[in-house]
Amino acid sequence: MADRRYTKSHEWIVVDGKTVTVGITDFAQSQLGDVVFLELPSPGRKLAEREAFGVVESVKAASDLYSPIAGKISAVNDRLSANPELVNSDPYGDGWILKVELAGELPSDLLDEAGYRKVTEAASH
């Protein structure tokens, strides 16, 4: 997708005005395996760029989740509490993790799809 940006730590964002939706990439969920639990923050929390905001646990491992941007959490995907597997089955849709009201500008190091593909290809070798 042209409007989706990625981080080297395997998060994605979609920007809609000042609201930024955050999730983990298909590559990340496939590396994790079956997601069984997500520890997520409460709306209203302020995040710094690259700050850890939660944990995703799978049958293989637990990994920290990092905010690609600075801002205030406006919404958390409550469906993930009862259905954490949405991160596996629909990482770019129903498996979104949180929405953040952007504070300032987008980081300059976000990757487009081609740039992120190079990261995942390097990680696969």
Q: In angstroms, rounded to a whole number, what is the distance separating the alpha carbons of residues 57 and 28? A: 12
Q: In angstroms, rounded to a whole number, what is the distance separating the alpha carbons of residues 75 and 19? A: 10
Q: In angstroms, rounded to a whole number, what is the distance separating the alpha carbons of residues 31 and 25? A: 10
Nearest residue to 79 (alpha-carbon basis) of 115, 40, 116, 25: 40
Model confidence at 125: pLDDT above 90: no
pTM: 0.94
How many residues are recorded in the chain? 125
Model confidence at 1: pLDDT above 60: no
Q: In angstroms, rounded to a whole number, what is the distance separating the alpha carbons of residues 96 and 40? A: 12
pLDDT at 2: 46
pLDDT tens sequence across 24-63:
999 999 999 999 999 999 999 999 999 999 999 999 999 9
Domains of the chain, earliest start first: 4-123 (2.40.50.100)
pLDDT at 3: 86
Which amino acid appears at position 26 of this protein? D
pLDDT tens sequence across 69-119:
999 999 999 999 999 999 999 999 999 999 999 999 999 999 999 999 999
